[in-house]
Structure 1
Amino acid sequence: MDTTTWKTNHTRWSDFILTGFFSQSKHPALLCVVIFVTFLMALSENALLILLIYSDARLHTPMYFFISQLSLMDMAYISVTVPKMLRNQITSENKISAPECGMQMFLYVTLAGSEFFLLATMAYDRYAAICHPLRYPVLMNYKVCLLLVAGCWFLGSVDGFIFTPVTMTFPFCRSREIHHFFCEVPAVLKLSCSDTSFYEIFMYLCCVLMLLIPVTVILVSYYIILLTIYRMNSAEGQKKAFATCFSHMTVVILFYGAATYTYMLPSSYHSPEKDMMVSVFYTILTPVLNPLIYSLRNKDVMGAVKKMLNVGSDFQETIK
Structure 2
Amino acid sequence: MASRGATTKTPAIQWDEAYPAPVVLVSGPEIFLADRAVQRIRETMFAERSDLELHDLDAASYTAGELYTIASPSLFAEPRLIRVTNVERCSDAFLSDARRYVTEPAEDATLVLRHAGGQRGKALLDLVRGGAGIEVACPEMKKDQDRLAFAQAEMRRLGAQITPGAVRQLVAAYMGDLGELAGACAQLIEVSGKQLNEDHVTRATEGRVETNGFKVADAATAGRPAEALVLLRQAFAGGIDPIPLLAALNMKVRGMARVFGLRGSAGQLAKDLGMAPWQVERAMKETRGWREAELARAIDLAAETEWLLKGGTRDPQYALEKYVLFVARRGREANSPR
Assess same fold via TM > 0.5.
no
| Larger RCO of the pair (alpha carbons < 8 Å, separation 6+) | 1
As a proportion of its length, which structure holds more helix? 1
Q: Give TM-score, length-normalised by structure 1.
A: 0.21
Q: Give TM-score, length-normalised by structure 2.
A: 0.21
